[in-house]
């Protein structure tokens, strides 16, 4: 290992744990231990934590107390993990209608609580993390880096997040922390305020976290949409090439665009240790193209800003292993629990957020779970995340098609570079296609193949366009579906 990462991992982080109340390192160590537990042990741990958080929510959080009382449910009734089904799901609307005071625990010390929200104007959810939850999440981030791609704190890291319009609209409006100051630290310690000193170290490290992590951020594709000029792609690749990050993270479409370019033009790929998506997950086809183009491992992680890091890949790449010590995830198909491998909606319970409990939170993602032991050594259940609920299509026979499946179907066609499929009124679909250079859109062929793939009755019309525009927050929606509420 290089010197800097060595110092970070062997000295700075353990020292912070030892001398301040910033226990990231201790938590990380404990989490790594839990990765070696059996599925049974993990489930036992989940049950203990679930019962505790349900009891806590019932006793301290007005929203949950009213919910439970209105259906006559008592925390004691939750005796097994399956009993969680007796609790009604919590929607984003439920959260925001009660945020903050109705959905957070009463009577706690709020001085170190933090608001969390995804940057960008579109996502309609906010959350609160208390100090312990922030610490755990920081540790979970280190854990995800370590397990999925062997990235350690201090190794070079480059990211290309989606948010556009960072200056003009002022999207990057997060609060800025205080900088670490030795003078202030000495004063606090001299004055005997060790708690204050700890807090100061935390704030300082937090505000410096990008530098500590050797993390460099490139601007997003911006308002041009999917198809940016070739010269821009070249300059992204140059930036990556000259920084040589161990970890490259980016919006899936960005990574996919670079990969296609490298393969099409036969240009040498920048040297990168590992690639991961940021702000969305990769489809199987994307993963394959990116891995081939860059000649490196591609790992997946799963999480969101309101909850945190929830799961990450292993070298077998058969879904992301859930951090079962931190979260409980159910997959439900209609009004019943999905079987392993069956498609459904995710409901997440955060087992550690005491300040703002999330119990059976409808996160808005669809996918499948698997619990078999595939031999990598980690026994947490694996999730296959296949897209957002509102991007899931349903055909006239009631069969669901996830956005991953539809994405890979269209991208398997040689003439389609990028696309966006919009479900208009039932049975009618509009397809915008950016054709591959030198190719023509085969309207008839697309219509015929789509009917065969999706629905014999589907009426699809294709139009050639130059680019697919991003949504407000800079992310892309390639499938805009309507019938998903049946899921």
Partner 1 sequence: MDIQKIRGDFPIFERRINGKPIVYFDSAATTQKPRQVIDTLSNYYANHCANIHRGVHTLSQESSELYEEARRTVARFINADEREIVFVRNTTEAINLVSTCLKGEGQILSTVTEHHSNLLPWGRSRDVDYVDIDAHGRIDVEDLKGKLQKPTLLVAVTHVSNVLGLINPVEAVIAEARKNGALTLVDAAQSAPHMEIDVKAMGCDFLVFSGHKMLAPSGIGVLYVREELYERMEPYLMGGSTIKEAHLGSYVPEEPPTCYEAGTPNIEGAIALASAIDYLSDIGMENVLAHDKALMALALERMKAIDNVELYGSLDPTDRLSVITFNVKGMGCHGVAKVLNLRENIMIRSGFHCAQPLHDRLGIGPTARMSFYIYNTPEEIELAAELLGKIAEFI
| CB of 473 vs partner 1, minimal distance in Å | 10
Nearest to Zn ion of 210, 316 (CB atom): 316
Q: With left for phi above 0 and alpha for psi between -120 and 50, is residue 387 left, alpha or beta? A: left
Out of Zn ion, partner 1, none, which partner does residue 314 contact, by CB within 5 to 8 A per kind? Zn ion
**Among the listed residues 376, 436, 447, 464, the single contact to Zn ion using CB under 5 A:** 376
| CB of 294 vs partner 1, minimal distance in Å | 34
**Binding piece for Zn ion, criterion CB under 5 A, among 2-10, 61-69, 72-80, 372-380:** 372-380
Nearest to partner 1 of 111, 182 (CB atom): 111
Nearest to partner 1 of 274, 307 (CB atom): 307
| CB of 100 vs partner 1, minimal distance in Å | 5
Out of partner 1, Zn ion, none, which partner does residue 438 contact, by CB within 5 to 8 A per kind? none
| CB of 66 vs partner 1, minimal distance in Å | 16
- The residues of the shown chain that bind partner 1, judged by CB under 8 A, are 93, 96-101, 104, 110-111, 113-115, 117, 119-121, 124, 126, 128, 167-171, 173-175
Helix (H, G, I), strand (E, B) or coil at 269: coil
Nearest to partner 1 of 112, 333 (CB atom): 112
Nearest to partner 1 of 1, 96 (CB atom): 96
Out of Zn ion, partner 1, none, which partner does residue 126 contact, by CB within 5 to 8 A per kind? partner 1
Out of partner 1, Zn ion, none, which partner does residue 110 contact, by CB within 5 to 8 A per kind? partner 1
Contact flag: residue 165 with Zn ion (CB under 5 A): no
Out of partner 1, Zn ion, none, which partner does residue 96 contact, by CB within 5 to 8 A per kind? partner 1
Contact 385, 284 (CB under 8 A): no
Residues 291-320 that bind Zn ion (CB under 5 A): 314, 316
Contact flag: residue 37 with Zn ion (CB under 5 A): no
Round to whole Å and give the CA distance between 354 and 352. 6
| CB of 384 vs partner 1, minimal distance in Å | 31
Out of Zn ion, partner 1, none, which partner does residue 180 contact, by CB within 5 to 8 A per kind? none
Handedness of CA 276, 262, 469, 392 (dihedral sign): negative
- The b-or-e profile of 102-112 (16+ CB within 10 A means b, else e) is bbbbeeeeeee
Out of partner 1, Zn ion, none, which partner does residue 3 contact, by CB within 5 to 8 A per kind? none
| CB of 346 vs Zn ion, minimal distance in Å | 19
Quote the distance between the C-alpha of residue 281 and its chain's center.
7
Contact 142, 169 (CB under 8 A): no
Nearest to partner 1 of 6, 96 (CB atom): 96
Phi, psi of 28 (to 5 degrees): -60, -45
Helix (H, G, I), strand (E, B) or coil at 422: strand
Residues 315-354 that bind Zn ion (CB under 5 A): 316
Nearest to partner 1 of 306, 384 (CB atom): 306
3-state per-residue secondary structure call for 60-104: HCHHHHHHHHHCCCCHHHCCCHHHHHHCCCECHHHHHHCCCCCCC
* Nearest C-alpha neighbor of 81 from the set 363, 354, 349: 349
Phi, psi of 27 (to 5 degrees): -65, -40
Contact 431, 418 (CB under 8 A): no
* Nearest C-alpha neighbor of 249 from the set 154, 319, 145: 145
| CB of 277 vs Zn ion, minimal distance in Å | 18
Per-residue CA distances from 457 to 31, 188, 453 (Å): 50, 72, 11
Contact flag: residue 447 with Zn ion (CB under 5 A): no
Helices (H), 127-225: 131-147, 182-190, 194-207, 209-212
Binding site for Zn ion (CB under 5 A): 314, 316, 376, 378
């Amino acid at each position: 290992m290089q010197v800097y990462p060595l110092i970070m991992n062997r000295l700075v982080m353990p020292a912070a744990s030892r001398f301040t109340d910033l226990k990231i390192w201790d938590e990380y160590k404990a989490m790594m231990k839990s990765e070696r537990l059996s599925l049974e042990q993990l489930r036992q741990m989940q049950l203990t934590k679930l019962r505790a958080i349900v009891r806590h929510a019932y006793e301290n959080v007005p929203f949950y107390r009213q919910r439970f009382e209105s259906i006559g449910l008592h925390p004691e009734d939750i005796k097994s993990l399956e009993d969680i089904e007796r609790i009604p799901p919590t929607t984003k609307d439920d959260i925001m209608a009660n945020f903050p005071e109705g959905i957070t625990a009463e009577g706690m010390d709020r001085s170190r609580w933090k608001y969390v929200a995804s940057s960008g104007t579109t996502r309609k959810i906010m959350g609160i993390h208390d100090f312990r939850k922030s610490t755990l999440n920081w540790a979970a981030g280190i854990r995800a880096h370590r397990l999925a791609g062997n990235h350690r704190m201090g190794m070079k890291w480059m990211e290309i997040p989606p948010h556009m319009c960072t200056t003009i609209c002022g999207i990057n409006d997060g609060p800025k922390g205080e900088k670490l100051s030795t003078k202030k630290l000495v004063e606090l310690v001299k004055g005997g305020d060790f708690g204050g000193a700890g807090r100061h170290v935390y704030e300082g490290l937090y505000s410096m976290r990008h530098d500590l992590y050797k993390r460099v951020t490139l601007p997003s594709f911006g308002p041009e949409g999917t198809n940016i000029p070739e010269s821009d792609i070249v300059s992204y690749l140059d930036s990556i090439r000259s920084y040589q990050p161990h970890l490259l993270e980016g919006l899936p479409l960005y990574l996919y665009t670079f990969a296609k370019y490298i393969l099409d033009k036969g240009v040498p790929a920048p040297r990168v240790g590992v690639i991961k998506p940021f702000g969305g997950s990769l489809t199987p086809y994307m993963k394959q193209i990116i891995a081939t183009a860059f000649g490196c491992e591609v790992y997946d992680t799963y999480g969101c800003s309101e909850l945190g890091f929830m799961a990450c890949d292993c070298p077998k790449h058969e879904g992301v292993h859930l951090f079962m010590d931190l979260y409980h995830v159910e997959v439900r198909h209609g009004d019943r629990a999905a079987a392993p491998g069956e498609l459904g909606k995710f409901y997440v319970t955060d087992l550690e957020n005491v300040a703002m409990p999330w119990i059976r939170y409808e996160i808005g993602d669809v996918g499948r779970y698997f619990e078999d032991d595939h031999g990598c050594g980690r026994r947490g259940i694996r999730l296959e995340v296949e897209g957002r609920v509102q991007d899931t299509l349903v055909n006239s026979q009631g069969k669901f098609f996830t956005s991953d499946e539809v994405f890979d179907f269209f991208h398997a066609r040689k003439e389609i570079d990028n696309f966006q499929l919009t479900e208009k009124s039932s049975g009618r679909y509009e397809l915008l296609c950016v054709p591959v250079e030198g190719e023509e859109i085969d309207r008839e062929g697309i219509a015929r193949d789509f009917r065969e793939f999706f629905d014999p009755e589907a009426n699809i019309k294709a139009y050639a366009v130059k680019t697919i525009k991003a949504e407000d927050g800079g992310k892309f929606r390639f499938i805009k579906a309507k019938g998903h509420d049946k899921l």
